Amino acid sequence: MKFLDLAKVYIRSGGGGAGCISFRREKYIEYGGPDGGDGGKGGDVIVEAVEGLNTLIDFRYQQHFFAGNGQHGMGSQRTGKDGADKVLRVPVGTEIIDEDEETVIADLTEVGQRITIAKGGNGGWGNLHFKSATNQAPRRANPGQEAIERTIWLRLKLIADVGLLGMPNAGKSTFLAATSNARPKVADYPFTTLIPNLGVVGIDEVEFVVADIPGLIAGASEGRGLGDLFLGHVERCAVLLHLIDGTSGDPAGDYQTIIRELEAYGGELADKPRITVLNKIDALDDEERSFLRDEVATVCEGPIMLMSGVSREGIPDVLRALRAEIDDNRLRHKKSNDDDAGVEDAPWQP
């Protein structure tokens, strides 16, 4: 399945049905009178967050969504049928943005959340509604309310607890593959990761979700490389894991590049809790590890951890540091062995 996190759609609610002008005329009824029914209500356009989706790809092939119109009223006091609602099913974490691409209409962060973004028109009154003591035979009825047309944007921001940041080939995908059942593409060239990946990581009987996004380079905020298009997927994370390639030749410069891009992106992303890790230490001896850690420390305020996604050295300490930054209400507790008998857990356990 292809990944799509931004889609433009055109929606229209249903128009209300017109009221009916009708009079009762039956052979054995001495007094007739008005009996025109009301028009039916037009259908609403609703957006609902559902389970089992992690992309907006369906909206690439269909961009127009119309709710049903209300049926006109009929004689014998018959009300027209209401128009059918149109429900757009989107992944959890989808933002609904107005046509100006700035105004956020709604943010669907929980399964089952629904919002009506175009309300159907009310049906018009039939002439029965206008009968009075001084107007026994009204010959007027209301038309139904018109439909609402609008254009909206759907933007998906993945729901994750930890977001991975780093330059291309910093080892983000290797870390995700080593600690979860996710199988992102891993190769020895930059921009191996082209779309975000999610993985469930377990440590000390709790689990949390990690999001891996394509690497950033200098000038990403200006559109270089893959740009900063995917940074929105780590906006909801509780903590960021910043991986630095210990074999790059300039780890301190790589660190500063990522920080500058976070600041250029704006919002609260640069202020989120962040854990900095010097990765690929399996290729470094003790002296090189100490030297590079001190070098990065000159530009990094917080502590610097050491890790290797290949040899898995230092991974348990990194996971525990991440777990400490995540609120307990976001964590998911693993089932006990008795409840989980016969079910394989994550491929790696500390």
Write out the binding residues: 166-173, 191-195, 212-215, 279-282, 308-310
Binding annotation for Mg(2+) = 173, 193
Cβ neighbours, 10 Å, residue 337: 9
**Residues 237 and 211 sit within 8 Å (Cβ to Cβ):** yes
Amino acid at 80: G
Cα–Cα distance between 9 and 66 in angstroms, integer?
A: 11
Nearest of 149, 157, 329 to residue 232 by alpha carbon: 157
Residue count of the chain, please give it: 350
Cα–Cα distance between 57 and 67 in angstroms, integer?
A: 21
What burial class does residue 160 get, using C-beta atoms within 10 Å of its C-beta: 0-12 exposed, 13-18 middle, 19+ buried? buried
Cα–Cα distance between 131 and 200 in angstroms, integer?
A: 66
Cα–Cα distance between 256 and 260 in angstroms, integer?
A: 6
Binding annotation for GTP = 166-173, 191-195, 212-215, 279-282, 308-310
The residue assigned the tokens 């992106």 is 265
**Residues 265 and 221 sit within 8 Å (Cβ to Cβ):** yes
